[in-house]
Amino acid sequence: MEWANRMNQAMAYIESHLMEDIDYAEVAKIACCSVYHLQRMFPFLTDVTLSEYVRRRRLTLAAVELQNSDIKVIDLALKYGYESPEAFTRSFQQMHGTAPSSARKAGTMLKAYPPFSFQFSMNGVAEMNYRLETLPAFSVIGANKRVHTANAFATVPGMWAAAAGEGLFEQFWQIWSSDHPLRGILGVCADGDHGKNEEFTYIMSVVSGHLPPDGLSKRDFPAATWAVFEAAGGPEGIAELWKRLYTEWVPASGYALAYLPAIERYLPPEENKNELWVAVVKA
């Protein structure tokens, strides 16, 4: 399947560049998604972050080299991208349970972490309802926050609660475009920074044609087609949608993820639903 082929090509690129600084933008390009989507999608598919996968693959190869050559630990550390032998030794011991200096000894137990390979299969999953919306260009205005990818679903609800106490919503109601298809409070998920850290920018915002007030910033979106998924209930429904988007819908849909931030749309409590908007293109 095309999706599995793209992901396997991305893994092959990583495998061939393990002894270099990996260009995650190029990995995302091969996978036909943004760096942000790559960063968030990988743990849903594999239960491990992409940076941790790369670390384990490098340390697997380093262990093989220690057992089959007389390379010095300092040279091995530099070869696999560590700034010092001490940093390499800490990471090696964390994974293998032994120091690099002991890895050459006969009988030492080491761990091998094989390359990932993706395949797609249908296992009777529940249907996933969506609609397509084509919107002209628009802008959002909001407050930017940096969020760690691994903790996003625990961190973001607290951010919204704090924003309410700080009067952010009152600012929003003065500038929002109430007649826009994306009415309501929006969480824009943007700007993954993979390779430097595991964070992204989360923008608590509304659609607006105004200039941003002091302390808030503006983000422009071009015209695009969006796949829209409904989640009943509170923010926990959005979290489940993210997982199903990456593990079920994208592999089977015939669409690829566009190079635009995704949007969480939070509607009034009486509507008892929220939405996830993801820009897409035909695969």
Give the rounded percent of residues in the chain with a pLDDT score beyond 90. 53
121 falls within a domain: no
Residue 158 has pLDDT above 90, yes or no: no
Residue 123 banded pLDDT, cuts 50, 70, 90:
low
Q: What is the pLDDT of residue 105?
A: 87
- Quick one: tokens of 279? 């820009």
User: What are the pLDDT digits (tens) for 46-90?
Assistant: 989 898 999 999 999 999 999 999 999 999 999 998 989 999 999
Q: What is the pLDDT of residue 9?
A: 96
Residue 14 has pLDDT above 80, yes or no: yes
Domain match, 80 and 214 both: no
Domain match, 94 and 155 both: no
Residue 127 banded pLDDT, cuts 50, 70, 90:
confident
Q: What is the pLDDT of residue 113?
A: 93
Domain match, 198 and 75 both: no
240 falls within a domain: yes
35-44, 195-204, 211-220: the lowest-pLDDT one? 195-204
Please tell me which residue, 152 or 1, carries the higher pLDDT value: 152
Query: If you average pLDDT over every residue of the chain, what do you get?
Result: 88
Q: Is 20 exposed, middle or buried (0-12, 13-18, 19+ CB in 10 A)?
A: exposed
Domain match, 97 and 174 both: no
117 falls within a domain: no
137 falls within a domain: yes
Residue 44 banded pLDDT, cuts 50, 70, 90:
confident
Q: Say which CATH number the domain at 14 has.
A: 1.10.10.60
Tell me how far apart the alpha carbons of residues 65 and 265 are, in angstroms, rounded to a whole number. 50
Residue 28 has pLDDT above 70, yes or no: yes
Rounded to the nearest 10°, the torsion over CA 76, 78, 83, 89 is 0
Q: Which helix (H) or strand (E) holds 262?
A: strand 262-266
Q: Which of 102, 117, 149 is the last residue of a domain?
A: 102
User: What are the pLDDT digits (tens) for 203-231?
Assistant: 999 999 999 999 999 999 999 999 999 98
Domain match, 168 and 268 both: yes
Tokens 């996968």, residue located: 53
Q: What is the pLDDT of residue 40?
A: 85
Tell me how far apart the alpha carbons of residues 118 and 137 are, in angstroms, rounded to a whole number. 35
Residue 244 has pLDDT above 60, yes or no: yes
109 falls within a domain: no
Domain match, 96 and 151 both: no
Q: What is the pLDDT of residue 243?
A: 87
Residue 249 lies in domain: 131-282
Highest mean pLDDT among 28-37, 143-152, 193-202: 28-37
Domain match, 192 and 275 both: yes
Residue 124 has pLDDT above 60, yes or no: no
Residue 235 banded pLDDT, cuts 50, 70, 90:
low
191 falls within a domain: yes
186 falls within a domain: yes
Average pLDDT rounded to a whole number, residues 133-141: 97
Domain match, 155 and 49 both: no
Domain count, the chain: 2
Residue 13 has pLDDT above 60, yes or no: yes
Average pLDDT rounded to a whole number, residues 133-146: 95
Domain match, 64 and 186 both: no
Annotate 72-81 with b (16+ C-beta within 10 A) or e (fewer). ebeebbebbb
* Pure H helices in the chain: 2-16, 24-30, 35-46, 50-68, 73-79, 85-96, 152-165, 168-175, 235-244, 250-253
Q: Which of 102, 120, 142 is the last residue of a domain?
A: 102
Residue 187 has pLDDT above 70, yes or no: yes
Residue 13 contacts residue 27 (beta carbons within 8 Å): yes
55 falls within a domain: yes
Q: Say which CATH number the domain at 217 has.
A: 3.20.80.10
Domain match, 70 and 158 both: no
Whether the full predicted model's pTM is greater than 0.75, yes or no, is yes
131-140, 217-226, 231-240: the lowest-pLDDT one? 231-240
Domain match, 148 and 272 both: yes
Domain match, 182 and 64 both: no
